Amino acid sequence: MQSAQGAGAPDDLFAQSPNALADLASYRYVTVFSFTDEVEGKPESGSIEMSGAFAGPDRRMAAWKDLGSGEEFSVIRVGDEAWMREGDKWTPIPAMVADAMTQVVLMFAPATSWGELAGGVGTTATYVGTETVNGIRARHYASTYRDWVENEDVKVEDASGDVWIAEAGYPVRYRFTAKGVDEKGYKGTALWSMDLFDVNSDVRIEAPQVVEDSGE
């Protein structure tokens, strides 16, 4: 395995990657957060998928889905207008409500999360090699960064991750895993993944077709 320095200035690469991401004209992403845990000694698990699309500052889509229960919702924002989908029906909603509903989704979106991750991951990065990910040539780095786990009640015992940075400088994929134990001695694991694709392609986000309720 080569050192990060062998790949050429990894600290600069990671530090500049949030700006490279912000400069993209359009993209889609899928991020998944999964966990296993114990509550009063009983095992629990869950997996949430958050996806979205970006086609400029005034056009975006965000979706949330519980992969266990199948519960989901989607929101489209075009300029000052917004719509929510539950089931197959789109409903107009105030833009302020749309922003509140998508707060959790956007917290895990690359445009929000990567800026907080990049610096820490870069300080622990080890260069693995160059690979093609999601159709994009990227540099693969392994990392032992663990501060992505934000829970004061959990002691992180082990953490690892892998990050792929496109040759153009933006993150294409990351995978982080962690194992920890809480103050009662219960153990748990967490997985966070993100994939970026359709970069600078024809990503169209338009106002959805709204079917008016006939009231019958």
Collapse the DSSP code of 47 into the 3-class scheme (helix H, G, I; strand E, B; otherwise coil) and give the result.
Answer: strand
In the chain, the amino acid numbered 189 is T
What's the pLDDT at 116?
Answer: 86
* Radius of gyration (C-alpha) of the chain in whole angstroms: 19
- CA–CA separation, 203 and 191 (whole Å): 28
- pLDDT tens sequence across 159-198: 889 999 999 999 999 999 888 777 777 778 889 999 999 9
Positions in the chain whose pLDDT score sits under 70? 1-11, 39-41, 149-154, 211-216
What's the pLDDT at 212?
Answer: 62
Contacts of residue 14, defined as CB under 8 A and 6 or more positions apart, other chains included, come to 118, 119, 121, 122, 125, 165
Q: With contact defined as beta carbons under 8 Å apart, do 194 and 173 qualify?
A: yes
For residue 111 the two structure tokens come to 């445009």
- Residue 73: which of 29, 103, 118, 46 has the closest Cα? 103
- CA–CA separation, 107 and 78 (whole Å): 20
What's the pLDDT at 159?
Answer: 82
What's the pLDDT at 202?
Answer: 93
What's the pLDDT at 2?
Answer: 42
Q: With contact defined as beta carbons under 8 Å apart, do 50 and 63 qualify?
A: yes
Looking at CATH, the fold of the domain delimited by 4-73+99-197 is given as outer membrane lipoprotein receptor (LolB), chain A (2.50.20)
Which residue shows structure tokens 């160059």? 130
Contacts of residue 103, defined as CB under 8 A and 6 or more positions apart, other chains included, come to none
Q: Please classify residue 9 by burial: count the beta carbons closer than 10 Å to its beta carbon, then call 0-12 exposed, 13-18 middle and 19+ buried.
A: exposed
What's the pLDDT at 175?
Answer: 94
How far is CA 170 from each of CA 25, 103, 115, 167, rounded to the nearest angstrom? 12, 23, 11, 8
Q: With contact defined as beta carbons under 8 Å apart, do 90 and 84 qualify?
A: yes
